[in-house]
Amino acid sequence: MRALLSVLALVAVTVAGCASANAVDPPAYPPDRVVHVAGTNTNRIVLTPQAAGRLGIITQPVRPAAGSGGTIVPISAVLYLPDGTTWVYTNPGPFTYVRQLVALGPIANDQWVLTSGPAAGTAVVTVGGAELLGAEQGVEGE
């Protein structure tokens, strides 16, 4: 009986040690890569599928604004930087995001009219943009 208890105790300690070691091991590859876009002052953020899922990123296409010649994006797509500039993240490819400068017009029904920015049909991030900005600027999260 003592031998059995000793074996069980050893197994419990071994399993507990493995679990804590795995909990602190870094991932085999980072959840994101930030790559400078040549010839610009912006970066491309490339996420792993798992990272994109954890962030819960949602995109919507930019729509033409009726009668104004501009385009429309949901208010949630617009990000404000400390210098007062306004941006959206476009989604030019799978799990790839690029910040683009926009100029804002009036608000209509929870939508911003853009006087400049991405063309109609361009996918923009409506949920998860702040997290992308943090990744781009090197803010680490948990």
Residue 16 lies in a domain: no
Residue 21 lies in a domain: no
CA distance linking residue 136 with residue 140, whole number of Å? 10
Q: What is the pLDDT of residues 69-122, one digit of tens each?
A: 789 999 999 999 999 999 999 999 999 999 999 999 999 889 999 999 999 999
Domain that holds residue 92: 30-136
Residue 8 lies in a domain: no
Residue 6 lies in a domain: no
| Overall average pLDDT of the 131-137 stretch | 89
Claim: this prediction has a pTM higher than 0.85: no
Question: Is the CB of residue 118 less than 8 Å from the CB of residue 98?
Answer: no
Q: Distances from the Cα of 63 to the Cαs of 32, 105, 119, in angstroms?
A: 29, 14, 8
